[in-house]
Amino acid sequence: MFGQDIEKYKQQAKQTLHEWAIQPRPPLKMRLCKVFKQMLLIILGTFILILILFLAKVKVAKAEAIHGDKPVRGWFWYEDPVVEEKKKPEQPKEPEKQKEPEKTVKKEEPKENIKKDFDFPVIADAPPVLRKFLKEPTEENAQEYLAWQYQYFQHLKKIGYNLRNAYLRYGGQLYPISGYPESALASIYFLKDRDNLIAKHIASARDKIGLIYFYSTDCATCQGQKPLLLNFLQKHSLSVRGVAISREMSISGEIDASLPFLSVNDPVMVQRLVQRYNVTTIPTILAVIDVNGQPKIQALGVGLTSVDLMESQIINFMIQEGFIKEKDLNPNFLIEGN
């Protein structure tokens, strides 16, 4: 019985399903319109609900504003009446004292450290060459200063030599100095004795001293130096060798055949001698002295040089190398046995 019912129900279900399947459905457009209408109704209902709640809140706020009641305070809230404070009578204000204007003290701004080049202090009366070298110690300025210094020392030697001779000749007439002759007649003998001592000491070292003379036949100064050198050689009989060089100091020159000593003008030898002894000016007279087998060089004169200056230079050279002492040149200081 139950099996027949089940089969019956199955047949009905299949038939119903078949009928539902073959039943014509509305088009898709109509179905979409139906869904859209349903959504629109839901949105509209939500908007009406929100509007109702908003209007209800506004009514509550208006009621609180009219009745002065607030739900937070409750039914039994009590506020004390506001008591107005009595205003105190205003007291007359004292006139304000005028404030003295504040003195503004300007702060000294720190001076910027301005770096300056070091300015070497030089006295105002310093020679221009010396001032230039001390202010700007370059190699070129040093060369100029050394050239000036050499001329300065040469001039000092002339001053000292002529001052000595003037005193020896005329010192007795001016003022006496201890150790030197005080009369004019004694000065003459003193000078003569001193010249004899100089000649004696130069002659004692004649075999150890020689001269080198750099000259040029087309040099006017060399022509003026020639008789002075011959006078010096006649007086002291020293050996001399000449070096003939051109006026420009670049090549060898013509030999002066009138000189009583040998001269060389071989280009190689001339160039080597000029470089070895650093000769830059003509005429130049060099003294070569043998000190224990080692040659020592000293300039006797650069440019026009007198006989007295050549003698003074060679004597100073001998004192420097220990051949004689200064006191050996003063007759008044000579002691027998020394």
Task: Give the Cα separation of 151 and 286 in Å (integer).
Answer: 17
With CA atoms as reference, report the closest residue to 286 among 182, 200, 213. 213
Residue 87: inside a domain: no
Query: For the residues of 92-144, what is the DSSP string, one character each?
Result: PPPPPPPPPPPPPPPPPPPPP-----------TTS-HHHHHHHHS--HHHHHH
Task: Give the Cα separation of 315 and 161 in Å (integer).
Answer: 12
> What does the pLDDT read at residue 2?
52
Q: How many domains does the chain have?
A: 1
Q: Per-residue pLDDT for the chain (338 aa), expressed as one digit of tens each? A: 556 678 887 888 888 877 776 766 677 778 788 888 889 889 988 999 898 888 877 665 555 555 555 555 555 555 566 666 666 666 666 666 666 666 665 555 555 555 556 788 888 888 889 889 988 889 999 999 999 999 999 999 888 888 877 766 665 555 544 444 444 444 555 566 677 778 888 888 888 888 999 998 888 888 899 999 999 888 888 889 999 888 776 677 888 888 888 888 888 888 888 888 888 888 899 998 888 888 888 888 888 888 888 888 888 888 888 888 777 776 655 544 44
> What does the pLDDT read at residue 90?
67
> What does the pLDDT read at residue 144?
92
> What does the pLDDT read at residue 178?
45
Residue 155: inside a domain: no
Residue 28: inside a domain: no
Residue 163: inside a domain: no
> What does the pLDDT read at residue 186?
47
Task: Give the Cα separation of 324 and 314 in Å (integer).
Answer: 11
Residue 255: inside a domain: yes
Residue 61: inside a domain: no
**Domain enclosing residue 307, as ranges:** 207-326
How many residues are listed for the chain in this entry?
A: 338
Residue 172: inside a domain: no
> What does the pLDDT read at residue 103?
60
Task: Give the Cα separation of 300 and 287 in Å (integer).
Answer: 6
Residue 10: inside a domain: no
CATH assignment at residue 254: 3.40.30.10
> What does the pLDDT read at residue 204?
82
